[in-house]
Amino acid sequence: MKILVDENIPQAKEAFSKFGEVKLSHGRQITNEMLMDIDALIVRSITNVNEKLLHNTPVRFVGTATIGTDHIDKEYLKSKNIFFADAAGCNSFSVAEYVITAITNIYNTTNKTFSGKRIGIIGYGNIGTKVAHFAKALGFETVINDPPLERKNGKEKFCSLNEALGCDVVTFHVPLNKTGIDKTYHLLNEDNIAQIKSGSLVINTSRGPVVDNSVLKKRLIDKKDINVVLDVWENEPNIDRELLQLTDIGTAHIAGYSLEGKLNGTFFIYEKLCKFLEINCNWTPDYPDIKERIIDINPSSEIEKILFEATQKIYDITFDSSQLKMLLNADVVNPDKYFDQLRKNYSIRREFNNYTIRTNDGNNKLNVLLKELRFNVI
């Protein structure tokens, strides 16, 4: 069996070599000609898998080590009886922790408190539910918008898109649907961006085209009255550098790039290939040790300050932003390649549950809150 795998999928050789010969390639460079002797194709979100790519190839298994599937022509795969597997949920904690880290950073910068604020969570799947759980623990009132789930479960838990857009924090966690009743392409657009109130924070970690980038840029230029965190962009990797300059935090589509999130993606597809081939699974990801697991904090500080200090020691989101904003320098010759290189060479980031916060305090309320965020507490 021959398997072609995106070279940026971690531990791919170790995971898939048991099935046969593994070939690695840059995801944007995979061509139809390369697949003429390939049985299984495993990609990330940057490879468009469709008839053009797969025509007349022996590929019978396609896996994407990502939660999104808008780069996959699933109807074509079905018509050709090609088995498809995604990694839904693999990096949901990673993205949720990115969102909480971003909110914490912006709220410390602007001297705002969590308590009494409303967060509009647009999309209530694997990621949105985790963001809601974390946000509630911090004192936010959660306002949920998810039309498909509302139709399925009733209106009790859900609200309109406009109500969600009117919150203090607005965060997007939807798939990219370009058509249909649940179209999410340009979900934030010229018609509804006025619903975003002055002083609010907008975060997009879903897909770039969910937010009309030109409309958001115009709002930032005209009014300069909102904070913006973008991890995803229209036309990646050729992103709008003017919009990048206007963001408070801008990163290179890495919200889900914790080591756990990436290795979960590898493992999920490995398990599904085992199932497809009807063989037993015996590989597990290898996680390196963390040298500095314990974080000391001052329990008498406000929760905004405590969480800021803790997240800074785990993940400096502003460093990732500064790296992407190097694109604003005139001497960056190939912006597209630079964007991809930031993703390929992304440094190891671990999730909250790997760390222990030492409070040296009997403040049970604080300890419970930190545990809700998946920290260990002593």
CATH value at residue 318: 3.30.1370.170
Q: What is the mean pLDDT of residues 179-199?
A: 98
Same structural domain for residues 71 and 133? no
Q: What is the mean pLDDT of residues 344-372?
A: 92
Same structural domain for residues 101 and 222? yes
Q: What confidence category does residue 364 fall into, taking pLDDT thresholds of 50, 70 and 90?
A: confident
In a domain, 120, yes or no: yes
Same structural domain for residues 180 and 228? yes
Q: How far apart are CA 143 and CA 282, in angstroms?
A: 42
Q: What is the mean pLDDT of residues 169-189?
A: 97
The total of structural domains in the chain comes to: 3
Flag whether pLDDT at 153 surpasses 80: yes
Q: What confidence category does residue 331 fall into, taking pLDDT thresholds of 50, 70 and 90?
A: confident
Residue 305: per-residue pLDDT = 96
Q: How does pLDDT run across 194-217, given as a tens digit for each residue?
A: 999 999 999 999 999 999 999 999
Q: How does pLDDT run across 101-124, given as a tens digit for each residue?
A: 999 999 999 999 999 999 999 999
Flag whether pLDDT at 30 surpasses 90: yes
Flag whether pLDDT at 373 surpasses 90: yes
Residue 100: per-residue pLDDT = 98
In a domain, 18, yes or no: yes
Q: What is the mean pLDDT of residues 298-327?
A: 96
Residue 333: per-residue pLDDT = 86
Q: What is the mean pLDDT of residues 174-198?
A: 97
Which positions are catalytic? 207, 236, 253
Q: What is the mean pLDDT of the chain?
A: 96
Domain coverage including residue 315: 294-377
Q: How far apart are CA 328 and CA 247, in angstroms?
A: 12
Same structural domain for residues 98 and 199? yes
Same structural domain for residues 113 and 176? yes
CATH of the domain at 238: 3.40.50.720
Q: What is the mean pLDDT of residues 53-67?
A: 97
Residue 8: per-residue pLDDT = 94
Under 8 Å between Cβ of 76 and 54:
yes
Residue in this structure with the two tokens 């299984």, named with its chain if needed = 40
In a domain, 206, yes or no: yes
In a domain, 327, yes or no: yes
Q: What is the mean pLDDT of residues 69-78?
A: 97
Same structural domain for residues 241 and 304? no
* Strand pairing category for 201-204 and 227-230: parallel
Same structural domain for residues 314 and 203? no
Lowest mean pLDDT among 226-230, 268-272, 360-364, 371-375: 360-364
Residue 330: per-residue pLDDT = 78
Count Cα neighbours of 190 within 13 Å in the Cβ-side half-sphere: 2
pTM: predicted TM-score of the whole model, two decimal places? 0.93
Flag whether pLDDT at 362 surpasses 80: no
Same structural domain for residues 223 and 149? yes
Same structural domain for residues 103 and 240? yes
Same structural domain for residues 244 and 269? no
In a domain, 289, yes or no: no
In a domain, 288, yes or no: no
Q: What is the mean pLDDT of residues 295-317?
A: 95
Q: What is the mean pLDDT of residues 23-37?
A: 97
In a domain, 71, yes or no: yes
Same structural domain for residues 75 and 167? no
In a domain, 315, yes or no: yes
* Percent of the chain at pLDDT exceeding 70: 99
**Which two three-digit tokens encode residue 243?**
């919009």
HEC profile of the chain = CEEEEECCCCCHHHHHHHHCEEEEECHHHCCCHHHCCCCEEEECCCCCECHHHHCCCCCCEEEECCCCCCCECHHHHHHCCCEEECCCCCCHHHHHHHHHHHHHHHHHHCCCCCCCCEEEEECCCHHHHHHHHHHHHHCCEEEEECHHHHHHHCCCCECCHHHHHCCCEEEECCCCCCCCCCCCCCCECCCCHHHCCCCCEEEECCCHHHECHHHHHHHHHHCCCCEEEECCCCCCCCCCHHHHHHCCEECCCCCCCCHHHHHHHHHHHHHHHHHHHCCCCCCCCCCCCCCCCEEECCCCCCHHHHHHHHHHHHCCHHHHHHHHHHHHCCCCCCHHHHHHHHHHCCCCCCCHHHCEEECCCCCHHHHHHHHHCCCEEC
Residue 360: per-residue pLDDT = 79
Same structural domain for residues 161 and 301? no
